[in-house]
């Protein structure tokens, strides 16, 4: 039997407020040591098994037969039956073989070439973003720098025309951050925003069926495997999934990484001297920040995990944020080390069927944005208090004041 947790005050992992001061890493480390499959009571749910060791997180992530995404969805918080029914149409919340069919269709559009083709536009967007702040010498890193890039990239990927993008941004902002009081988003508001986005997506597909271009959504309206195509509803849900999955994650990665560099300034200096370290640095930013802290699964049978019996139907939440600091896998796990290699982090998933579809796109966005930051704002530093998102799911930063030596815009936009 694991020893009781004794050294650190317990943290209520199911309370979104517990994450505002920061991911509770000392407590997660204590759980890994003493109670790696930890029963967590919930005020607003049935309670769950919190899985914190790297190997166990990988097992839960890969073993979809025993740990289902479909039964109750993948969000760590409780959803109503209506919400579960609606979310079950999204690939993130499907199990094989249904998921496999869907993923094969979507993969046909989401090719490495499609990602490569976006690179030039990502460079232009990064320059335009820095142009918009560089003369001022200060900015809110989140709202003025890291929020814009992922939104523009997804709009470009999906083929949303420039003059319609602001509507998409508004819907996606209203759909996320709903646990945080600053955004005043009620579940009803989020649902209205989602419905508006579906309506818009359906109009866009109708146009792309008649007049297809090279973008992902045009391709997806045409793809076929063994005579099967994606239905209108599936296309709309995929549009919504990409808007949410590709947006908050990448934004919070870039913001969280900037904050981490302020805590480890020697690592920023190292990157300034050797930008060729960007590929390993991007992996380390992903490990260190881990924007998606956890996901939920539901046990499909009575089973045992690391000797702990788990009943059929039990809620299981596995913590990527903890796995990525597991001292059995990573040396000095609480230090940011841009040269870390190998770096088998599971920020994009632990190799199961849902492994992040946008991983390579996100990697490219991170490297491009940071290349431009290193070149154009080399002396960037913190200029006020960081404000973190209230969420038990996303490791988020809402505001991060920064300052740097003012410079002239490049004006290439």
CA distances from 45 to 5, 19, 41, 81, 94 (A): 23, 18, 8, 13, 22
* CA dihedral sign of residues 141, 335, 316, 89: positive
Q: Does 235 bind ligand HEM (CB under 6 A)?
A: no
User: What is the pattern of x (binds ligand HEM, CB under 6 A) and - over residues 66-95?
Assistant: -------------------------xx---
In whole angstroms, give the CA distance from residue 128 to residue 132. Answer: 6
Q: Which of 18, 20, 356, 374 binds ligand HEM (CB under 6 A)?
A: 356
Give the rounded distance of the alpha carbon of 356 from its chain centre.
9
Rounded CA separation 46/48 (Å): 7
CA end-to-end distance (rounded Å), the chain? 61
Considering the complex, state which of residue 30 and residue 297 has its C-beta at the smaller distance from ligand HEM. Answer: 297
Does 256 engage in binding with ligand HEM (CB under 6 A)? no
Report yes or no: 372 and 109 within 8 Å, Cβ to Cβ: no
Contact 339, 264 (CB under 8 A): no
Q: Least distance in Å: CB of 366 to ligand HEM?
A: 7
> Does residue 219 bind ligand HEM (CB under 6 A)?
no
Total interface residues for ligand HEM by CB under 6 A: 26
Q: State how far the Cα of 156 lies from the Cα of 121, in Å rounded to an integer.
A: 8
Q: Does 389 bind ligand HEM (CB under 6 A)?
A: no
Binding mask 312-351 for ligand HEM (x = CB under 6 A): -----------------------------------xxx--
Q: How far is the CB of 123 from ligand HEM (least distance, A)?
A: 16
**Using CB under 6 A, which of the segments 46-54, 331-339, 354-362, 389-397 binds ligand HEM?**
354-362
Q: Pick the binder of ligand HEM from 73, 256, 358, 396 (CB under 6 A).
A: 358
Q: How many other C-beta atoms are found inside a 10 Å radius of the C-beta of residue 351?
A: 12
Q: List contacts with ligand HEM (CB under 6 A).
A: 61, 91-92, 103, 154, 241-242, 245-246, 249-250, 253, 291-292, 295, 347-349, 352, 354-358, 361-362
């Amino acid at each position: 039997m694991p020893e009781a947790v004794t050294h650190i005050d317990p943290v209520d992992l199911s309370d979104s407020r517990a994450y505002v001061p920061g991911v509770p890493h000392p407590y997660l480390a204590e759980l890994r040591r003493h109670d790696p499959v930890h029963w967590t009571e919930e005020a607003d749910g049935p309670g769950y098994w919190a899985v914190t060791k790297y190997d166990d997180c990988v097992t839960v992530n890969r073993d979809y037969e025993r740990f289902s995404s479909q039964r109750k969805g993948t969000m760590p918080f409780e959803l109503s039956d209506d919400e579960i029914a609606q979310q079950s149409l999204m690939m993130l919340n499907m199990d094989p073989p249904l998921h496999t069919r869907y993923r094969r269709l979507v993969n046909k559009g989401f090719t490495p070439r499609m990602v490569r083709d976006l690179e030039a536009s990502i460079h232009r967007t990064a320059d335009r973003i820095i142009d918009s702040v560089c003369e001022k010498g200060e900015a809110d890193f989140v709202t003025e720098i890291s929020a814009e890039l992922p939104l523009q990239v997804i709009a470009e990927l999906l083929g949303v025309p420039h003059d319609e993008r602001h509507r998409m941004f508004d819907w996606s902002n209203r759909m996320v951050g709903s646990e945080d009081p600053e955004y005043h988003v009620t579940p009803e508001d989020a649902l209205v925003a989602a419905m508006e986005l579906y309506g818009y997506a359906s109009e866009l597909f109708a146009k792309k069926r008649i007049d297809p271009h090279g973008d992902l959504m045009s391709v997806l309206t045409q793809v076929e495997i063994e005579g099967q195509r994606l239905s209108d509803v599936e296309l709309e849900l995929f549009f919504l999934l990409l808007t949410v999955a590709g947006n908050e994650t990448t934004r919070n990665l870039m913001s969280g990484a900037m904050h981490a560099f302020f805590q480890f300034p020697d690592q920023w200096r190292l990157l300034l001297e050797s930008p060729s370290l960007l590929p390993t640095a991007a992996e380390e930013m992903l490990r260190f920040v881990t924007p998606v802290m956890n996901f939920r699964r539901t046990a499909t049978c009575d089973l045992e995990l690391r000797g702990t019996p788990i009943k059929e139907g039990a809620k299981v939440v596995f913590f990527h944020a903890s796995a990525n600091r597991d001292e059995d896998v990573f040396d000095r796990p609480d230090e940011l080390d841009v040269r870390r290699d190998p770096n088998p982090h599971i920020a994009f998933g632990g190799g199961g069927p849902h492994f992040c579809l946008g991983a390579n796109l996100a990697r490219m966005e991170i490297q491009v944005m940071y290349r431009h930051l290193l070149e154009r704002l080399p002396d960037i530093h913190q200029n006020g208090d960081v404000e973190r998102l209230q969420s038990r799911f996303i490791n988020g930063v809402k505001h991060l004041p920064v300052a740097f030596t003012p410079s002239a815009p490049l004006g290439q936009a």
